[in-house]
Chain A
Amino acid sequence: MALTADGSEQKELTQTPLLKIWVPWMGCNLNRRRGSSVPQFCNSPTMIVMVGLPARGKTYISKKLTRYLNWIGVPTKMFNVGQYRREAVKIYKNFEFFKQDNEEAMNIRKACAAAALKDVTAYFTKEQGQVAVFDATNTTCERRAIILNFAKEKGYKVFFVESICEDPEIIAENIKQVKFGSPDYVDRDIEEAMEDFVQRIECYRASYTSIDDDKDRKLSYIKIFDVGSRYLVNQVQDHIQSRIVYYLMNIHVTPRSIYLTRHGESELNLLGRIGGDSGLSPRGQKYANALAIFIKSQNIKDLKVWTSHMKRTIQTAEALGVQYEQWKALNEIDAGVCEELTYEEIQRDFPSEFALRDQDKYRYRYPKGESYEDMVHRLEPVIMELERQENVLVICHQAIMRCLLAYFLDKPGDELPYLRCPLHTTLKLTPVAYGCKVEPFFLNIEAVNTHRERPVK
């Protein structure tokens, strides 16, 4: 019997049934995950603190970053102090609320910030959060000092994201896109709202101190200038901050559209079999041709086309008659021992696996295969490149498309595996304001339905 270093009997390993992770046999503690499908890099919770004048994209960045971090598996939540203020002061009158000398308002605003910080603590301690994005102007040294002290007391890391921009066109565009529709201005006319908001910005400007490259040299931060034309990065402390910086440096705000579609119907689809590497069925080929016509009609500038390495997506792309790039990362989920089986066969030959999958479809890993969670990690470079690019058509597969869609539409792991991505339908995603507009285009070619609903409990 082999002994461990300290002389005790060597423990046997067992594989957790859902995730297929090998863990030491711990009897009834089987559910406690020793390992996980990705290394856990977050030790102390981290606060990302936004800094900048109004209309500099802080909330845009906060929401986008939060969406990205949640998608890659880092529980993140945004705390927008403006919302706390709207709760406290039901009716917004005008910019005078934000004047430096408005003592009553100042007290309310301070209280809102404090309330938000309290919720941050609750998120970390009671809800297993790992990252909190503190979205407010935080334009004074004083306010930032309060946050730093708060974090120090609690043992949270702090990373500042400052957005600096003086281009009047960009600011006007920001105001148009997101401020006019805000609850503060919902009853005003546009000119009045614009005038008021400009005055609001001026209220902050007098007391605005940018993060100081000399005095604040010990702080960890990134300064973003002119929507990404330049960055100043200081004292990145750990893995998650490094990932955040990389993400922020790759996103842009140039208008563009992303088209997501599956390959045309395949031979194996017709047989109801999952996975494999079959070619298109006749109807699938029809779809490929229809897709070519559709794409032409969209008149897209400089469209990039991406496929997986599987025959069915490449055959679909071939019909477009344009150059395309193949990504192995876009390959369909690997169903391991269940490859090319029908669901009935899986239920018959692997009944416990079949049941487990319905229990937690996001984390469930096929024996010798993958899980949705694994796929998200393999897709991350694709998402990063999609962020860098402009107009792209991605021809992929059901599970892959669900993962990508969940990223763009901010769907949690629970919903991701049940998103509807039927064959022969192209989704056109266009970023707008803080989110993403989705337009589905069914190209009128019949196909089998490959969607399985969430089983009723």
Chain B
Amino acid sequence: MPRELTQNRIQKIWVPTKDDKPAAPRRATGAPHFANPQTVIVMVGLPARGKTYISKKLTRYLNWIGLPTKVFNVGEYRREAVRNYSSFDFFKPDNECAVKIRQQCALAALRDVKSYLKDEGGHVAVFDATNTTRERRDMILTFGNENGFKIFFIESVCDDPSVIASNIMEVKVSCPDYRDCNKTDAMLDFQRRIECYKTSYQPLDPDRHDKDLSFIKVIDVGRKFLVNRIQDHIQSKIVYYLMNIHIQPRTIYLCRHGESTDNLEGRLGGDSGLSPRGKQFSVALARFVEEQQQQDLKVWTSQLCRSIQTAEHLGVPYEQWKALNEIDAGICEEMTYDEMKEKFPEEFALRDEDKYYYRYPAGESYQDLVQRVEPVIMELERQANVLVICHQAVMRCLLAYFLDKSADEMAYLKCPLHTVLKLTPVAYGCKVESISLNVDAVNTHRDRPEEVKRGPGTLIRRNSVTPLTSPESIIKKPRIDDLDEAPIQEMPPSVSSLALCSPSHLPLTLTGKNLRRSSSGRHDVLQLCQ
């Protein structure tokens, strides 16, 4: 007898009746998860080769597409164990005491990897350390075998002195190890630290010793790649991602279309044109873009009228992406929230219960949007300067990717009309500047209702497409440890500088419902999360 099917109420996914619990999200989601076995990504390379940069970026991407991923940085374990870093002597191969400590730190990190993957719902762990000797890598391979984890190596090889010097300046001289040094001393010490590793460095050998391992060698910051024995879907996606990212400085501008006539009436979705104020915004946007003087700026829009009308004012070529269309509100298209509440009260309540997973009947969810928008992210990674003129929900998805926001936060990010967000990659994160173009508009933001409880419990779902923030490591680490200026002191929550934070540093307690803009400091500050 065939099992009866019912549609689970939040995700609108058809499930066999006996399995359905009213609001429990199902395993299956927008795209299958192919029962990916758990994977440990192992970074390999001399210091200052971009391993941590790659680790963090990859983790952010994997979390965003729904694979719970976490970085385990052995250097942080070392800083916990050895409170005060004295000098590069610590890293000398003959410093027996230090060698022991470093070994212990690696083992501690692996223990945490095991716990993350086996007990905490993790899917991918990124083991960020130099791992430059065969001995160390063999130990990790054994660990993987014992626990049934797949092992994938990412080796970064680079001998261009200017790239290395630049890396050291960006992220090393201001790290906690060098908090009491001046920049020149720090640079010198670090270079000698690198020398300590060089003698014992055994690169991955695809021809003989390591020919059966799965790995990618990234050579000279992505000029060349050597890819060996990709085993599965997730390794294939990782390789594709790594081959598309670059580190050239550039700027991404995100904004919504100008205010539309539907916006004025408080209606969702639809395909209306701009209101008079929306048109004013478009003119202001054109002026803004000109002032920014970006080289070769690409302009992308959705295929909805209001975003194209906005772009038309810029007088430059633009590309239309259907993938950037606003979330499909299905049967609720073109209703106001009040109408929706009146006609479909249960749907209205369900949406507030779990806005990320909630799919409009015959429409989409934020989770579906992430799937849909992924090719846009991939192309954004390839590009240089881009202006994306899109819509509220889509912009929230894109922003969540750049700022490493979890699924829980994504659906409530503030993306007001007539405001441009300027994103600039910096160090391990992304600087955000919010620029209001001073044209009034209605507010389309709905805050998270008070009654809806939040908490990690609802978010841990195995094998589901749930973006999680790259989690903080268990080791307490200094708030800002990798930017080229003095760490930011504890600030009152209302004026936290989002701009300089690498996303995982943002305190989770940061709340506040109002848009605050601070004119102090060099950066516009915007509180985006709730």
Contacts and interface: CB of A to CB of B under 8 A. Distances in A.
The answer to whether A and B belong to the same complex is yes
Contact of B227 (A24, A213, A231): A231
Interface string B273-295: 10010011011001100100000
Interface in A217-262: 217, 229-236, 239, 242, 245-246, 249-250
A10 B368 CA distance: 35
Nearest to B300: A39
B226 A388 contact: no
B287 A13 contact: no
B31 interface: yes
Contacts of A10: 279, 312-313
Nearest to A275: B362
B14 interface: yes
B320 A35 contact: yes
Given A11-B312, A249-B236, A318 B2 contact: yes
Contacts of A385: 32, 34, 233
Contacts of A217: 224
Contacts, number: 153
Contacts of B271: 368
Contacts of A229: 228-229
A3 interface: yes
Interface residues of A, number: 59
A233 B227 contact: yes
B434 to A, nearest CB: 22
Interface in A370-406: 374, 377, 381, 385, 388
A24 B224 contact: no
A2 B279 contact: yes
B283 A245 contact: no
B38 interface: no
Nearest to A367: B271
Contact of B239 (A249, A279, A328, A368): A249
A258 to B, nearest CB: 16
Interface stretch (B56-64, B133-141, B301-309, B340-348): B301-309
Interface string B346-374: 00000000000000001000001001000
A11 B273 CA distance: 12
A374 B14 contact: no
A21 interface: yes
Interface string B213-232: 00000000001111111100
Contacts of B382: 239, 242
A38 interface: yes
B311 to A, nearest CB: 10
Given A5-B315, A21-B320, A39-B320, A236 B2 contact: no
Contacts of B446: none
Main secondary structure of the interface of A (DSSP, over half): mixed
A318 B305 contact: no
A288 interface: yes
Nearest to B206: A230
A327 B315 CA distance: 40
Contacts of A249: 227, 230, 236, 239-240
A239 B61 CA distance: 19
A37 interface: yes
Given A311-B14, A327-B31, A246 B240 contact: yes
Interface in B217-269: 223-230, 233, 236, 239-240, 243-244
Interface residues of B, number: 62
A13 B312 contact: yes
Given A3-B283, A10-B279, A328-B30, A230 B233 contact: no
A315 interface: yes
Contacts of A311: 5, 7, 14
Nearest to A374: B322
A444 interface: no
Contacts of B339: none
Contact of A15 (B7, B229, B305, B315): B305
Contacts of A328: 30-31, 368, 371
B475 to A, nearest CB: 36
Contacts of A233: 224-227, 243
A5 B283 contact: yes
Identify which of B3, B236, B320, B382 gathers the most chain A CB atoms within 10 Å of its CB: B320
Nearest to A5: B286
B337 interface: no
Contact of A39 (B12, B33, B319): B319
B279 A234 contact: no
A40 interface: yes
Interface string A126-169: 00000000000000000000000000000000000000000000
Contact of A245 (B243, B313, B320): B243
Given A35-B303, A233-B224, A388-B233, A4 B240 contact: no
List the 3 shortest-distance A-B pairs measured between CB atoms, nearest first. A325-B32, A35-B320, A5-B286
Interface of B: 2-3, 5, 7, 12-14, 16, 28-34, 206, 223-230, 233, 236, 239-240, 243-244, 271, 273, 276, 279-280, 282-283, 286-287, 290, 300-301, 303-305, 308-309, 312-315, 318-322, 333, 362, 368, 371, 379, 382
